[in-house]
Structure 1
Amino acid sequence: MAAAAGSAGVVCWSRAEKQHAPVRGGGTSVTSSTSGSGHASLKGSFDRLQGNRLLPQALTMPSLFRAKRNGRRTPGNAVTNFGKSEFHREISGSTRATTQVAEATTAGLRETIEDRAIIDGHSHSFEGIQSEEELMQVIEKEVESGRLPKRAGAGMVELYRNYRDAVVSSGVENAMDIVVKVMSTVLDRILLQFEEPFTFGSHHKRMVEPYDYYTFGQNYVRPLLDFRNSYLGNLKIFDQIEKNLKEGHNVIFLSNHQTEADPAVMALLLEHSHPYLAENLTYVAGDRVVLDPFCKPFSMGRNLLCVYSKKHIHDVPDLAEMKIKANAKTLRQMTILLRQGGQLLWVAPSGGRDRPDPETNEWVPAHFDSSAVENMKRLSDIVRVPAHLHALSLLCFEIMPPPVQVQKELGERRAVGFSGVGLAVSEQLDYDSIAKLVDDSKNAKDAFSDAAWSEVNDMYNVLKEAIYGDQGCAVSTDSLRLEQPWFDGSRRTD
């Protein structure tokens, strides 16, 4: 039973009840949630399907499966239906299909699979892997063949082990089955970036066909989130944001930035209550996530406006002019999008990921660059489309903490953890009200940036107390109401 905490109408799971909560999308079970664009999440629970060897393929290769029930195709990607279902693996250039039937031992689940060959010039050595030992052998083989650089092979091994330890620590049933299936798919997509590198344009639209990179990224990060100790703040404001977008207004999030997994974390926290926002959010992304082969597969599933971070423009002096021109091109593309209206943009005005405070060693939101905030404010005014700027606070550093020190080169070591996370949004920031408190435009610019950062920091501290202070939704304030919409019956009604 859910226990009310904080403000009236807020439903939140108490610490004692969390281990028995009927979670949707986290913990040991996953239920169906169809998004605004028709993509469907997996329905069912891992423990009910543990006897089925074919389900993990649907989990880790979502774009290759479609569900068919009673002769009618179900919208969405990988979908598990209780009872009798047929899974059709759809791959272009396929050969004669062969049907495999698997009987699930616990739910009487019957699935029919049409398995077809894939011919696309890509080494498929990571497909069909059933064990950790086999996965390690494949990495070694790819390095020996020369298709995979030795350093990348070592990076794959480290990433796999860190991910394995994080998922196993979550206590989820069949953890190793999940780890092997998910990571074999992840490593397959990374290998593809060494064989056939993908090049991002200034404006990249998320790729869901012929391979669904969006769901791929969600399925990778999902097991790392402790949904029973995660929170979404101010759902009513998210409701209003969605309404504004559908009326053609633009919305810009001024946010802190914690990890490479931020887009997936935000989408996972929003997908149950606000799938439209989760799928239509466009991220202003730095060059590292579109150049590093270990990041690119996850970036391919997100809407991106690609820029070079100010922190790294002059890392290689000979490339500085090219980077400046590329940023100007992205700015023009951003202007075009905002003039169309109905755009939801995420911007990190700090220019990089948060780092621990050197004195306290605690992770804190990095201060905003006031010129970056001012640029977004000015651009939203120029396009003459109604715009709303909101502060957005994200706490998820334990999922994939960055190196403590900012490094110039690509290929950083990647730690992975299992943790509760949080996301909260503020009311619309009122520039005019803030500007009235200062005496000139320059001070107004700085004051607005400081006000946005202060909102982020204040919400971050509430999220931190909820997650790490064992307070949960009880720490909700007059300006920040925490909820857990992924639990049945937890969406507020007032």
Structure 2
Amino acid sequence: MSIHTTATNPRVLLPPSSSVRSVFWRFPTFTLCSPANAPGSMLEYKHSPSSSPLVSTELRQYPTFLDARSEQGLSPSLITFCFRIWFNQLLLCLPSDMANWNNYLLCGIRKEMETGTLPEYVAQLMEELYLNYRNAVFQSGNPHAEHIVISNMSVALDRILLDVKKPFEFSPYHEAIREPFNYYTFVQNYIRPLINFRKSYVGNISLFHEMEERLKQGENVILISNHQTEADPVIISLLLENTCTHISETTIYVAGDRVVTDPLCKPFSMGRNLLCVYSKKHMNDVPELAEMKRRANTRSLKEMALLLRGGSKLIWIAASGGRDRPDPITNEWFPAPFDASAVDNMRRLVEHAGVPGHIYPLALLCHDIMPPPPQVEKEIGERRLISFQGAGLSVAPKTNFNEITASCEDPDKAKEVYAQALYDSVFRQYRVLKTAIHELQGLDASTPSVSLTQPWQLPK
């Protein structure tokens, strides 16, 4: 089976087209009739010697459809939804049948809401997510856009529905779930079509290679970063997946409670390595829960300390405590100021781990892909605006606390000076990325301190 890639989205995995468009790939109840070339699926297929034709080993692991020889455990509405899609797809084996998928998926969401499986607000958010994702992927001009949307959104909606029915509880340290369903691959495939790789750049790729070498030697690496979207961890992973596989797959992200409680966000979070904390910005949203949140943060810090003592850990943290937001007057985007206490806590954890550790300032520009609400919201369930855009990632050389704060006699002043030095580095890198992406300077935006490349491009 040949695999095709697109210029705007490298590593989009698409089997050859076929006139038979079956949902058996998504609902393994019916894998008996699975075609060999279901178009638009973005998962990697593996041949199983015990079954023919090819069947996606990823999708046969759906917890929702385990023991699928019977209907036990499935809601009547879900059975109806699956069967309706299956039956109509058998009848509509013409290229034009893909247009009917919009109605199938939207009707499925509404049916689950009507039967009480989905709360109304979740159903509305799912419908909006589908429509916004579809529009964003079509912006890319990818000739396979329709197949990509149907394939990815079928899986996404199924995962969201499954979690609403059987909510997943995150532990203080959560490792990406790769089986029986591979959430890591699912998230990679979902976000990849939203990145315009032609207008995306990585700064100082050699430093990422340096980090990987340090990790292989048992040392720890901390990335002090700005934060722009819920998809930041995946975007970082995708920009590095061709050249820095270890960083792409093993980075641990310090995550706020919203990404592990929002029903639309949870399935995507399940595919990342996370240290779960409660953000200071939301600590007192519900006063009676503040003490519980503080205790939970203490447990997460202990987990982090244990991880660092083991060595070879790469941890990313948003030093501002939340996502960047545009200036309300100028609408300009820049990294939000860093919290000096958060930076200092990370530094002390690294120093007391008992193994060498290094802190690098990381800049990320990707807000157009999935911008946050203009203001911090207390309620869970924000709207997801989505767009096909370029993204940028850059890292600067590791920092040395003692060198930066040598002239500071006051410990509190030293904390502020160190955090500001990290922020200034991120800010400078961000300006270079902004010039490259938004001012359309591309690789010419490189400076002596930030060398831009597109590591996914093959050498000419």
TM class, shorter-chain normalised?
0.7 to 0.9
- For the residue of structure 2 that corresponds to 1:133, the secondary structure is helix
* 1:121 partner amino acid: G
**Cα gap change, 1:430 to 1:25, in 2 (>3 Å):** farther
CA-CA distance at 1:88 after TM superposition: 3.3
Matched, 1:50 2:17: yes
CA-CA distance at 1:332 after TM superposition: 0.5
Q: Is the 8 A contact 1:225 1:421 kept in 2?
A: yes
Aligned twin of 1:303: 273
- For the residue of structure 2 that corresponds to 1:402, the secondary structure is coil
- For the residue of structure 1 that corresponds to 2:282, the secondary structure is coil
The CA distance in 2 between the partners of 1:24 and 1:393, in whole Å, is: 28
- Higher share of residues assigned strand: 1
Matched, 1:208 2:178: yes
Among 5, 8, 11, the residue aligned to 1:30? 11
Aligned twin of 1:79: 45
Q: Is the 8 A contact 2:405 2:414 kept in 1?
A: yes
Matched, 1:411 2:381: yes
Q: Is the 8 A contact 1:93 1:119 kept in 2?
A: no
Deviations 1:460-482 (A, max 9, x none): 11001101111111111111111
Matched, 1:339 2:309: yes
CA-CA distance at 1:360 after TM superposition: 1.7
Matched, 1:121 2:73: yes
**Cα gap change, 1:292 to 1:92, in 2 (>3 Å):** closer
Matched, 1:191 2:161: yes
The CA distance in 1 between the partners of 2:454 and 2:389, in whole Å, is: 15
- For the residue of structure 2 that corresponds to 1:156, the secondary structure is helix
Aligned twin of 1:253: 223
Among 176, 185, 188, the residue aligned to 1:218? 188
Aligned twin of 2:124: 154
The CA distance in 1 between the partners of 2:111 and 2:389, in whole Å, is: 34
**Cα gap change, 1:435 to 1:209, in 2 (>3 Å):** same
Q: Is the 8 A contact 1:257 1:365 kept in 2?
A: yes
CA-CA distance at 1:153 after TM superposition: 1.0
The CA distance in 2 between the partners of 1:56 and 1:246, in whole Å, is: 42
The CA distance in 2 between the partners of 1:229 and 1:277, in whole Å, is: 22
* 1:285 partner amino acid: A
The CA distance in 1 between the partners of 2:322 and 2:421, in whole Å, is: 19
The 5-angstrom pairing of residues 349-428 of structure 1 reads: 349-428=319-398
CA-CA distance at 1:136 after TM superposition: 1.1
Aligned twin of 2:90: none
The CA distance in 2 between the partners of 1:389 and 1:51, in whole Å, is: 50
Aligned twin of 2:411: 441
**Cα gap change, 1:237 to 1:313, in 2 (>3 Å):** same
**Cα gap change, 1:93 to 1:267, in 2 (>3 Å):** closer
CA-CA distance at 1:279 after TM superposition: 0.6
Matched, 1:273 2:225: no
Q: Is the 8 A contact 1:26 1:222 kept in 2?
A: no
TM-score normalised by length of structure 1:
0.80
CA-CA distance at 1:52 after TM superposition: 6.0
* 1:314 partner amino acid: N
**Cα gap change, 1:166 to 1:89, in 2 (>3 Å):** closer
CA-CA distance at 1:118 after TM superposition: 8.0
The CA distance in 1 between the partners of 2:141 and 2:317, in whole Å, is: 35
The CA distance in 2 between the partners of 1:142 and 1:29, in whole Å, is: 35
Q: Is the 8 A contact 1:61 1:185 kept in 2?
A: no
Q: Is the 8 A contact 1:399 1:419 kept in 2?
A: yes
CA-CA distance at 1:359 after TM superposition: 3.0
Aligned length: 419
CA-CA distance at 1:50 after TM superposition: 2.6
The CA distance in 1 between the partners of 2:137 and 2:61, in whole Å, is: 34
CA-CA distance at 1:383 after TM superposition: 1.4
Unaligned runs of 5+ in 1: 1-22, 32-41, 66-76, 95-114
CA-CA distance at 1:437 after TM superposition: 3.5
TM-score normalised by length of structure 2:
0.85
The CA distance in 1 between the partners of 2:252 and 2:70, in whole Å, is: 32
The CA distance in 1 between the partners of 2:410 and 2:62, in whole Å, is: 65
- For the residue of structure 2 that corresponds to 1:427, the secondary structure is coil
**Cα gap change, 1:489 to 1:480, in 2 (>3 Å):** same
- Higher share of residues assigned helix: 2
Q: Is the 8 A contact 1:285 1:305 kept in 2?
A: yes
CA-CA distance at 1:151 after TM superposition: 1.2
